[in-house]
Amino acid sequence: MKRFLSRLLVIFFCISLAACNADQNTPAANSGTSETSGLSTAEISGEITISCYNTMRYKSFLEEAARLFEDKYPETRVNVETFSAMPEINTANQDNRNMTAIQMQDDPQGRADYISRVNTSLMSGEGADILAMDVLPVHKYADGGQLENLSEYMEADSDFNRSDYRKNILDAIEYKGGTWFLPMDYTFSYYAYDSTLLQGDQTASFGTGSAFTIGQLIELAGASFDGETKLFNSPDYVRGPNAGMFGQLLNEGYTSFVDLESKSANFNAGGFAKLLETVKEYSELGYIPRGVTGQRDAGAIMQQQPTQQTDRYFFKLEDNFSLMQQFNKNSGRKMMIRTAGDGGGIKDDDEIAGIQADKDGNVPFEFEQAYGLNKNSKNKRTAWAFLKFLLSEEMQTSTKLSPVALPINNAARQQKAELLISGAFMGEGKELDDTLKEVLRQYTEAVEQLSDQINCYKIKDTIVNDMIAAEVQYFFDGSKTSDDVANVLQNKVELYLGE
């Protein structure tokens, strides 16, 4: 009986090993070189699926893109899959102004479930042809060989011209010698200063060609600080994925605490504890306001609007979309956009100080939409054609895209700026008169000069960020000391990266 069972097990073992080898010889498992030959002349047909987590951000844009792509290539079919629930939308009327707030709840469990679902489908040799990189760990997929190296596609396709897109963005996203995802757009943050509070020599180094860290700005404003007017509008701590002043300082020194490429953590060398103490010190010195509700609550934000708008701050951290407001203010049209964690403040006298940089002088960017190509895809040519279509002028100027992010397609970026300034993007377009043309010229010049400084994309890991967010709240609510938090994070992140 023992011999019979032993023989049976050996047979099963041999069959399973043979099965593993057979998987590696199937056409889908072969390397991408055969897939990239003749890309520009390849027939575009077949069915592809594109999968993303964030429904609000992706769904309407992708469905429009799918429809137009299918019209262009009748032999194709594009399926769009989204995962998260649509966010709650609140509207209110205050002082005869209509305000709409979109409450996006952070859902770590939902994200984890989606990532788990994608992982399982990838491991079973399936999965969507195109994966949105909104929550997926792109560097892990790249390390595990689950994504196609898009550099090969870009080089092999004669219809793809790198000079049509922002070169420094495409260079910044390279990871371990390859391009594993393509961003459709980019955003950056810059510092604005209140010109009534800072003048003369203090502002000599400010401009669209400059880059600053928080520490540098504090040094520049030093003599003018009177203890009454706060230096920054970012509160010390806002609950959520690393927002507020803590989030900004963390981003400045992120790679000194976590290096995902070399898989090392450095929280307990003193730097992280010092960062936490610095944030607390800034709050005590009156540099920054204290965090209010600690919640990314749209209702609470809307209630805070009246008081926030009457405060002045030396510096405000703005995103690139605020440049629209910056150059529009002289045209008589006011645009007021508040995001959760934004401290607000009077913006009428704001001028550009410089782009946000980290401690090493690098200028990072973020994206709203980015996509990778699944190595398991059975129709990579059509998937690549769809990615190129998403990067085209037609799709990059779509009104279904967020108005905030800047298209990486150079021509589309200019066109979108025109649409935004004329109001056509929001459906209330008017012809550009001389004033608006000047606004457009100043806006695009500022955007391009600030964008030219971008030179890096910081790989972040949602698991590490969730660990940081979960522990840091104990410091700000007084439960733990900065050293305790730093030590706990060191152990946890080290365990995670060590795996």
Partner 1 sequence: MRIPVGVMFILPGLFGFILFFIWPFCISLGYAFIDKPINGSFTGLLNFIELFRNKSYLRGLSNTIRFIAISVPLNMGLSLGVAMLINKMKKHKEFFSLIFLVPLVIPSGSMVSFWSSLLAYDGALNGFLQTVGVEKIKWLDSNLALFVMVLIFIWKNLGYNMVLYLAGLSNIPKDYYESAWVDGAKPRQSFRYITLLHIAPTSVLVLIMSMINSFKVFKEIYLITGSYPHESIYTLQHFMNNMFASLNYPQLTTATTVLVVIIALFAQTLLRLERKASE
Residues near partner 1, by CB under 8 A: 1, 8-9, 12-13, 15-17, 19-20, 24, 29-31, 115-116, 119, 122-123, 125, 137, 140-141, 144-146, 375-376, 463, 467, 474, 479, 488, 491-492, 494-496, 498-499
Closest CA to 224 of 210, 245, 203, 246: 203
Give the three-state DSSP class for 267. Answer: coil
Structure tokens at 97: 């102004």
Partners of residue 92 on adjacent β-strands = 99
Question: Which residue lies nearer to partner 1 by CB, 38 or 125?
Answer: 125
Q: How far is the CB of 480 from partner 1 (least distance, A)?
A: 8
Residue number, 300 or 488, with CB nearest to partner 1: 488
Give the span between the Cα atoms of 148 and 134, in whole angstroms. 17
Rounded to whole angstroms, how far apart are CA atoms 182 and 131? 11
Minimum CB distance to partner 1, residue 54 (Å): 20
Which distant-in-sequence residues (6+ apart) come within 8 Å of 286 by Cβ?
Answer: 227, 228, 230
Minimum CB separation from partner 1 for residue 123, in Å? 6
Q: Of 369 and 374, which has the nearer Cβ to partner 1?
A: 374
Whether 243 and 340 have beta carbons less than 8 Å apart is answered as: yes
Beta bridge pairs of residue 48: 78
Closest approach, Cβ 497 to partner 1, in A, equals: 8
Coil, strand, or helix at residue 423?
A: coil
213 vs 376 by CB, closer to partner 1: 376
Alpha-helical runs (H) found in 184-270? 214-221, 244-252, 254-257
Nearer to partner 1 among residue 137 and residue 354 (C-beta): 137
100 vs 120, which CB is nearer to partner 1? 120
Helix (H) / strand (E) containing 350 = strand 350-356
CA dist., res. 131 & res. 334, Å (int) = 38
Q: Pick the closer one to partner 1 by CB: 119 or 392.
A: 119
- The answer to whether the CB of 374 falls within 8 A of the CB of 130 is yes
**Minimum distance from residue 104 beta carbon to partner 1 (Å):** 23
Query: What is the rounded distance in angstroms from the CA atom of residue 16 to the CA atom of residue 153?
Result: 35
For tokens 């701050």, name the residue. Answer: 313
Query: Which lies closer to partner 1 via its Cβ, residue 82 or residue 146?
Result: 146
Between 32 and 286, CB nearer to partner 1: 32
Helices (H) and strands (E) in the chain, counts: 18, 16
Kindly tell me which of 169 and 469 has the beta carbon lying closer to partner 1: 469
Query: If DSSP codes are grouped into helix, strand and coil, which group holds residue 320?
Result: coil
Task: Provide, rounded to whole angstroms, the least separation between the CB of residue 30 and partner 1.
Answer: 8
Adjacent-strand bridge partners of 185: 407
Q: How far is the CB of 17 from partner 1 (least distance, A)?
A: 6
We find the least distance from the C-beta atom of residue 442 to partner 1, in angstroms, to be 47
Cβ at position 491, least distance to partner 1 in Å: 4
- Determine the 3-state secondary structure of 344 from DSSP: coil
The CA distance from 287 to 307, in Å, is: 18
The number of beta carbons lying within 10 Å of the beta carbon of residue 94 is 11
Q: How far is the CB of 8 from partner 1 (least distance, A)?
A: 8
